[in-house]
Structure 1
């Protein structure tokens, strides 16, 4: 069986995160200019690109494309600590590259799909904690050895992303991903609440790891 190298994994993570930005935040920018997609279309774009990335790159790197997810897998004991920083670095590189390409399509003054609180940082923080908690919990549940069933894994995770984006997008942007939020925020200059989209996802995935352990099936006591 052929072994996947770390270099290949990092390339997949960088490429995957760039594609996430191109189709996800790219959908936001296209809708700003044409109003052709609407909020539902943007949510669908994020869900669909996540499905494509999982099916296309999951066998190479796991298709984390999200520093919070990488951290969550490490905290759950499913990912080696020595790979966490290289993965996060690759994801950030990919996010900035993808966002830079989106900027070429955007009109002057565009936020490039940056996630911004609709009603204050406190509300956005709480929403992002819950959204990332639920996303990570779903990921941990469906990728466990007992439940994993190929294509259904990608469909379940992408449906979760689309659902959360559809419902919570208007309130917090439904980021769940520090790389996805930081790149457009920095490139567009909308950095006031950027901390929300870094701290909240980290808190969310750590909470998910705790709950996942509480849900673990245990053999019956004798």
Structure 2
């Protein structure tokens, strides 16, 4: 179990450092900025690379909602949920802390929302709480279906990380304007801890919606696809 938890910590660290790091450090430059398309790709690439690197050890969840969805679908023991979630949070917070120190090292640095997730006045596109709730539920459910389907025994082995990474890229392309994209409570928590204020006040939604979406995705797959 210790090796699995270490793999989850490292994988989640890479996800937050690479994905949120691209948003905080690389997205905002007028000439060189990668924009939201680049940030979307960065999140997808972090999952793809770490799924290949450590997915064989821990399953490559890197996300409390994914762990919950896999448990609902019968692919993951519920007794391991809490240790996995704590490991994911540890990796996410460590990545956010290092990223905060790096981003603060520039003279006159303005970290803004520090890539935190939000709705209403803190949605990149000004979308409401209901919009944020719905999109996070729907996209997390879809993400779980992709994960469960691509890792099923009926599918050729070795390609799942590609499908999962591309799915996360697509999710970000859709929802960055709405919530700055969560679908991952660990990702939201780590950034909110350093952004503070409004980000902590709105963090509840980025636990509730992804977990609901994960449960829905897990149940849909269990009914639709989890059979020999």
Could you state the TM-score of these two structures normalised by the residue count of structure 2?
A: 0.89
Partner residue, 1:51: 48
Q: Which of these residues, 126, 129, 143, is aligned with residue 137 of structure 2?
A: 129
**1:70-94: CA deviations, max 9, x gaps?**
1111111111122110000000011
Alignment partner of 2:212 out of 203, 207, 212: 203
Counterpart in the other structure of 2:3:
8
Determine the structure 1 residue equivalent to 2:100.
103
Instruction: Identify which range, 24-33 or 93-102, moves more after superposition.
Output: 24-33
User: Which residue of structure 2 aligns with residue 184 of structure 1?
Assistant: 191
Aligned partner of 2:224 in structure 1 is 215
Q: Size of the alignment, in residue pairs? A: 213
| Corresponding residue for residue 61 of structure 1 | 58
113-122 vs 129-138, which moves further = 113-122
> For 2:224 and 2:72, how far apart are their aligned partners in 1?
16
Q: Secondary structure at the match of 2:99?
A: helix
The answer as to whether partners of 2:28 and 2:35 remain within 8 angstroms in 1 is no
Gap regions ≥5 residues in structure 1: 1-5
Give the aligned partner of residue 180 of structure 2. 173
Secondary structure at the counterpart of residue 201 of structure 2: coil
Over 3 Å off, 4+ runs = none
Task: Report Cα offsets for 1:154-192 as digits up to 9, x if no partner.
Answer: 110100000110121111122110000011012111222
RMSD of Structure 2 on Structure 1 (CA)? 1.5
In the alignment, which residue of structure 2 is the partner of 1:3?
A: none
Q: 1:11 to 1:218 in 2, by over 3 A?
A: closer
